[in-house]
Amino acid sequence: MSDVKDLGKVAVLMGGRSAEREVSLMSGGGVLAALRSLGVDAHGFDPAERDLSDLKREGFARVFIALHGRHGEDGTVQGALELMGLPYTGSGVMASAIAMDKVMTKRVWVAEGLPTPRWQWLAPEAQSRAAVMAVPDVIGLPLIVKPPREGSSIGITKVSGYSQMQDAVALAAKYDADVLCEEFIEGIELTCPVLGQGTSARALPVIRIDAPGGNYDFEHKYFSDDTGYRCPSGLPPEEEAEVQRLTLAAYRALGCRGWGRADLMLRAADRKIFLLEMNTSPGMTGHSLVPMSARAAGMSYEQLCLHILQHATLDAPGVHAA
């Protein structure tokens, strides 16, 4: 689109009711300011405070989803927007729902032959003390325990001994009935954003994350200045290319579109790369990684926001409620 006025009235969805509400408000605030600076008729919209039906009633033409976590990144709000016929940013209903669930994501990746750490899924009925204590026997120590449908490192524990397992599972279960136990990969933490869809999707520069003590938790992701980020990553060119190749394959396997960001680990022992998760509504805060990578590729924060918005669409354009 040559004229931002052609985009019409734009809603930036932010806030919401998930455990990542605070981060979403920061992301949405940044996106809103960026779009307005370019002349877009953009307005903030918090689904925790307003009914989604107001979007249609108030004449919004498209939606930038800056929500994170449940009811924003999991296909639910995407489904509501599909019913209203309002084009939105990011992945559609199916890809959003699958990517939000790390267990389902792993099942798809394994079926496609893509590398991901070994894992064990503990359904609510499989969280007895005996079952929990048996997990390290299967995937070894140390390991990671996490809620499979949360983001931003919420509810995650690195377990180094059997005695920590029960508390780690209990913490994860506060956020999700299911619990994911995952092999810990010792090495370099990486992330790689993607823009586009299908064969036209392209991977942006890889970012290397150097968190204090290797602890890239909620505080270090969003509020601390102690975390180091390298972009360019400093990886050998062939490793950078392989991270980008795997990221694109993972993105396409899940059916993602618009934009996204894969988190990966490069194992120190043998330089093997593992896919951890795919984010379909990544952060857009001052500490966020997609803007950092885009900047390294020559795209400003404002240009990135506009690019994402211009590619807002529906799963089935032209087939929706009147």
Active-site residue numbers?
A: 20, 152, 222, 261, 263, 277, 279, 283
Residues contacting residue 35 through CB under 8 Å, at least 6 positions apart: 10, 12, 42, 64, 302, 305, 306, 309
Task: Give, rounded to a whole angstrom, the gap between the first and last alpha carbons of the chain.
Answer: 25
Integer Cα distance of 309 and 300 in angstroms: 14
Q: What is the DSSP pairing of strand 187-195 with strand 207-210?
A: antiparallel
Beta bridge partners of 157: 145
Helices (H) and strands (E) in the chain, counts: 11, 13
> Contact, 42 vs 10, CB < 8 A?
yes
126: left (phi over 0), alpha (psi -120 to 50) or beta: alpha
Integer Cα distance of 266 and 236 in angstroms: 12
